[in-house]
Amino acid sequence: YSFETSNPLTWQEAKQACLGKGGRLVVIETDEEFDFIAEILRGNTAYRRNFWTGANDLAEDGNWIWDGSDHQVENFNRWGPVEPNGGTMENCGNLYRHINFALNDSPCSVMDDYICEYNFL
Ligand SMILES: [Ca+2]
Ligand SMILES: [Ca+2]
Ligand SMILES: [Ca+2]
C-alpha cells in the first residue's frame, strides 16, 4: 500500500494517480484488510484528511463496486453508522476521519488523500 497525503486529489484524479504508480485505489476485500488499514490511519495523527478508496456507485446509484475489481461492496459491513447517505450526490467512497475511518460516500469532486494498493491478484 501507499498512503498518499502530500497532494489531495478528486476521486478520478486519485484513481489515475494510483494507476500511474502501477497500482489501483485500494480495494478492501476482507474485514482483516479493513482493520489493517484502519489501524494505520487511526494511529497516525499526521493524517488530517479522508482517504479515497476504490469504492464507488458511479455506474448505478446505490450499486457499490470496487473500481478495477470483481469484488462486491455489497457485503461490506464497515460503512459509517448512517452511510451511504448521499444518493446521487455522493458516488465515491472514502475512509472518513471523523467517523474513525469507517467507509462513507462523498462527492467525487472532493479533494482527499488516497490509498493505492499494489501486487494484488
Ligand atoms: Ca485489497
Ligand atoms: Ca451514490
Ligand atoms: Ca455520506
What is this structure's pTM?
A: 0.95
Neighbours of ion ligand 2 (CB under 5 A): 57, 61, 91
**CA–centroid distance, residue 54 to ligand 1 (Å):** 10
> Is residue 107 within 8 Å of residue 90, measured between CB atoms?
yes
Cell 467517523 sits on residue:
99
Distance CA 22, CA 19 (A): 5
Q: pLDDT tens across 75-103, in order?
A: 788 999 999 999 999 999 999 999 999 99
pLDDT score for 26: 97
Q: Is 67 in contact with 27 (CB distance < 8 Å)? A: yes
Unique residue bearing C-alpha cell 464507488: 56
Closest CA to 102 of 37, 8, 5: 37
User: How far does residue 109's CA lie from ligand 1's centre (Å)?
Assistant: 23
**Nearest bound ligand to the CA of residue 104:** 3
Q: Which residues have beta carbons under 5 A from ligand 1 (an ion)? A: 27, 29
Is the pLDDT at 71 greater than 90? The verdict is no
Distance between CA 60 and CA 109 in Å, rounded? 17
Structural class in CATH, domain 2-117? alpha beta
